[in-house]
A and B are shown apart, each in its own frame.
Chain A
Amino acid sequence: MTEDLVSKKQLKYLNASTRKLIWWKYRKHTLAMIGLVSIAGMYFTAVFCEFLAPYSKDTRHLEAIFAPITKIHFFDEKGSLSWPFVRQSSLELDMENHRATVVEVPGTHFPIKFFVKGDSYLFWGMWEWNRHLFGVEQPGTLFLFGADRMGRDVFSRCLYGTRISLSIGMIGVLLSLLLGVTLGGISGYFGGWPDGIIQRIIEVIRCFPSIPLWMGLSAAMPPHWPAMKVYFAITLILSLVGWTDLARMVRGKLMSLREEEFVLAAKFVGASDLRIIFKHLLPSFTSHIIVSVTLAIPGMILAETALSFLGIGLRPPITSLGVLLKEAQNVTTVALYPWLLIPVFFVILIVLSFNFVGDGLRDAVDPYSR
Chain B
Amino acid sequence: MAYLEFRNIQLKYDQRLIFSGFNLAIERQEKVLFCAPSGRGKTSLVKMLLGFVIPDVGEISVAGVTLSGATVNQIRSKITYVSQDADLPKGRVSDVFADVFKYQVNRHLSYHEAVLSEWLTTMALPPDTLERDVDALSGGERQRLALILGILLDRDIWILDEITTGLDLELKTKIVELLLGYDKTILVVSHDEIYQNRGLREVNW
**A and B co-occur in one complex:** no
Interface residues of B (CB under 8 A from A): none
